[in-house]
Chain A
Amino acid sequence: GESVGLHLPTLSVQEGDNSIINCAYSNSASDYFIWYKQESGKGPQFIIDIRSNMDKRQGQRVTVLLNKTVKHLSLQIAATQPGDSAVYFCAEIEIQGAQKLVFGQGTRLTINP
């Protein structure tokens, strides 16, 4: 089975608020993590990544936090907009192992106007 899982399948936030999407992983050998956004009817789109030698990385309105001790990562989206409504997946790679992305189940984020 997959080694990456998410705490919440759905999340609703008000437009303009911040959102936090969580992800737990079980493979302690995983050392590279990526967040993807998937809009309805489309393929996954890269948002942000983080390697295991970091615990935080920021992009435009997005921040990823990695806690290797408890094998948890999160995606924070600031000042959410209607276009942020989508399903968000975390994925992991074991750099020295199988060169493939392992995806979690996903969280559906809905931005309410």
Chain B
Amino acid sequence: NAGVMQNPRHLVRRRGQEARLRCSPMKGHSHVYWYRQLPEEGLKFMVYLQKENIIDESGMPKERFSAEFPKEGPSILRIQQVVRGDSAAYFCASSLQQVANTEAFFGQGTRLTVV
């Protein structure tokens, strides 16, 4: 059973371009979480999705950021018109049930660099 798969591992974008980060949860997991991590800092919650539904997006910036978890395929975190401040590591986690009841497994992250 493969773990949480994120791709690409490294992504370089010029200012103003779009970044699309993909996350394939573990098999059978329908709960997905996205986190952002700046160097030497903790992980900041962005969004929690459960198959086709956004459950909690309280950590998502109001503009330029969006997330989806379609019925088929990976979860996508989309950042439009990237700026240098978007440079960070973005981690995805998945769980079988809500995290209070089951372990959440993290992917290896996508490191976004905006030049």
Contact = CB atoms under 8 A, between A and B. Distances in A.
Do A and B assemble together?
yes
A46 B3 CA distance: 13
A32 B100 contact: yes
Contacts of A45: 106
User: What band does the interface of chain A fall in when counting residues whose beta carbon is under 8 Å from B?
Assistant: 20 to 34
B56 A100 contact: yes
B99 A103 contact: no
A93 B100 CA distance: 7
Contacts of A61: none
Task: Name which of B43, B55, B104, B109 has the most chain A CB atoms within 10 A of its CB.
Answer: B43
Contact of A102 (B40, B45, B91, B104): B45
Nearest to A51: B100
Interface of B: 4, 33, 35, 40-45, 48, 55-56, 58, 91, 93, 98-100, 103-109
Nearest to A106: B42
Interface in A51-89: 89
A28 to B, nearest CB: 17
B64 to A, nearest CB: 21
Contact of A95 (B4, B41, B44, B100): B100
